[in-house]
Structure 1
Amino acid sequence: MSDLDRLKRFLSGASVDGAVFGLRSDYRAMLVAVEGIIPGSSDAMSGALVETAQAAAREMLRNRPVEDVEHVAAWREAYRAFGAKPQRTRNSLEALLRRAATESGLPRVNRLTDVYNAISVLHQLPLGGEDLSRYDAAPRLIRATGSEPFSTVANGETVIDYPDPGEVVWCDDGGVTCRRWNWRQTRRTQLTDETSTALFILDALAPLSDAALTAAADDLVGHLARLGPDVQSVRRLIAAPGHPAGAITTEGD
C-alpha cells in the first residue's frame, strides 16, 4: 500500500457524530492529510507568511473588536451551545486573531506551525495541525461522556485531564486529541520539529461558505508543498447529511 493510500484510508475512517450536527447543522470539517514534509525551524518563507497574516489581522481589527468578526461570533455561539463560556475558553481563531493584532504578534514555532497559524488568520477560520503518525486510529468528533483521557501540561508537567460531559471533542482510540471543538490540542499528537506526516483540520460554520473553506485548504496545501520536493496530500470534507460532501481528493501525484 502506498503512502497516499494509507492517508486516504485514514481520512475515510474519520467521522463527525450526529449529536455534533444536532448542535450546528451548518458545521463542516475539511481534513487535510499531508506526507513528505521536510521538518525545519521557522524560515524566511514561513516568517513572511506570518508577517502578512499579522498585518491582515491588525487591519481587520482596526475599527472593530474581535468578537464582531463574523466567523468568531459564530464560533462563540457554537461554544455556548455545548455549555462552554467563550470569554474564558476562546476558539482557536479568536485566540490567534487577538495575538496577531498585538505588538508581540504570532508565535514563531517551526515552519509547519507558522504556516497553518498564518492560514488560519488570513482565512479567518479555526485550523489545527497535528502529527498524524501519533494518532491511534482515525479522528472522530463527538460529544464527550467525560471519561475520555486528555493529555496536557500543567505547571510544566504532563497530566491527564478529562472533558466535561457533552463537550464537543476530537478524539481517537487513545483519547481526546482536541478539547472544546478547537480550543486546545493534546500534547500526545502535537506537531514537533520532527513531524513529516501531518493532519490539519479546518473548521467552518455559516456564514463561511464551502468555497471559502476550499480556498483556505488550497492555500494551506500550496504553502505546505514548499516544505519538500515530495510533499503529497489528500483531503476530505465532512458535513451534515444531505450536504454534497465526502469525496477524497489527492494532490501532489
Structure 2
Amino acid sequence: MPSVTPSIDPQITRLAPAFRALSILVEPAPVRHPDVGETALQQACQAVMAGEPTWADAHLAAWDNVFKAFGAKPKRTPCSALALRKRVQRDGMMPAIDPVVDLYNAVSLRYAVPVGGENLAAYAGQPRLVIADGTELFDTIKEGQPAHEAPEAGEVVWRDDTGVTCRRWNWRQGVRTRLSVESPLMWFILESLPEMPLEALQQAGDALIQGLEAMMPGAAVQRQLIGPGA
C-alpha cells in the first residue's frame, strides 16, 4: 500500500500551537454497501438538530479565531465544519452526493470537525499545510467553467508540488484532487483544535474508518495522528 506523509509548516504551529490532525489513508476495495454513507449522513443531521456534540460551538468558535488570525473572514468563508453545520441547522437535512463524500460529511457534522477528503492518486508529491505567498495556483469552477485563481498572500492552504488543493485551511477544496467513490487512493484529514477533546478526534477517525470498511469490505487503512499528543 502507498504511504502519505503530510507536513505542517512551522509557521502554522505558531499560528495555532495546539493544532492536531488525524491523517487517514485508504486503499479502497469494491463498494458493496453504498448506502452506508447516506445512512450515516441522515443520522448525523439528526444529531446536529439535537445540539450534538456539546462542545461543537466552542470548537467552531476557535476555528473562527484561527481564521481571523491569518486574515480570513469566517462569516464569509467559514471553516468547512461550520458551513456544513449551518446548512443542516437551516434545512434540517443534507442531500446525498456520493457514498464516500456523504460518509466524511457525516463525520464532520457529528463531531463538529473539519474533514477533508482527497483523491491522493491525483497528487504530485506529498500534502503540506503552508502559508501561501499568493503566487500559487488553485483550480476551481467559475460560472460553470474550469478556472484558476490564486490564494491571498498569508493565507493558510493545503498544497502539493503542483499547486493549492484546499484554500483557507479547510474552506474550499480544489477540483484536481476532488474525491469520489471512484478514487483509487483516498486520503482524509480530520483537523482539530484543543476545544475538541482528543478522544473525540480519535472517535471521529474510528467512525470514518468503520464506515469505509462497512461500505467497501477489504479496504486497507493507515492512520496517523499529527501534532500534540501524537
Give the alignment's TM-score, normalised by structure 2: 0.94
| 2: CA distance, partners of 1:110 / 1:139 | 23
| 2: CA distance, partners of 1:45 / 1:180 | 30
Q: CA deviation at 1:124?
A: 1.1
AA aligned opposite 1:25: P
The answer to whether the Cα contact below 8 Å between 1:37 and 1:197 also exists between their aligned partners in 2 is no
Structure 1 residue aligned with 2:25:
33
AA aligned opposite 2:18: D
Q: CA deviation at 1:39?
A: 5.1
Residue from 199, 203, 207 that aligns with 1:215 = 203
Q: Percent identity?
A: 37
- The unaligned stretches of length 5 or more in structure 1 are 246-253
Residue from 35, 49, 52 that aligns with 1:58 = 49
Q: CA deviation at 1:140?
A: 0.4
| 2: CA distance, partners of 1:230 / 1:132 | 19
AA aligned opposite 2:198: D
CA RMSD of aligned residues (A): 1.9
AA aligned opposite 1:59: A
CA distance 1:212–1:104, change in 2 (3 Å): closer
Give the alignment's TM-score, normalised by structure 1: 0.85
The answer to whether the Cα contact below 8 Å between 2:22 and 2:190 also exists between their aligned partners in 1 is yes
Structure 1 residue aligned with 2:83:
95
Residue from 32, 42, 49 that aligns with 2:40 = 49
Residue from 52, 66, 74 that aligns with 1:86 = 74
Q: CA deviation at 1:104?
A: 6.0
Residue from 185, 195, 205 that aligns with 2:173 = 185
Q: CA deviation at 1:57?
A: 0.9
Residue from 3, 12, 15 that aligns with 1:20 = 12
Structure 2 residue aligned with 1:202:
190
In structure 2, the residue corresponding to 1:102 is in which secondary structure? Answer: helix
In structure 1, the residue corresponding to 2:91 is in which secondary structure? Answer: coil
Q: CA deviation at 1:111?
A: 0.6
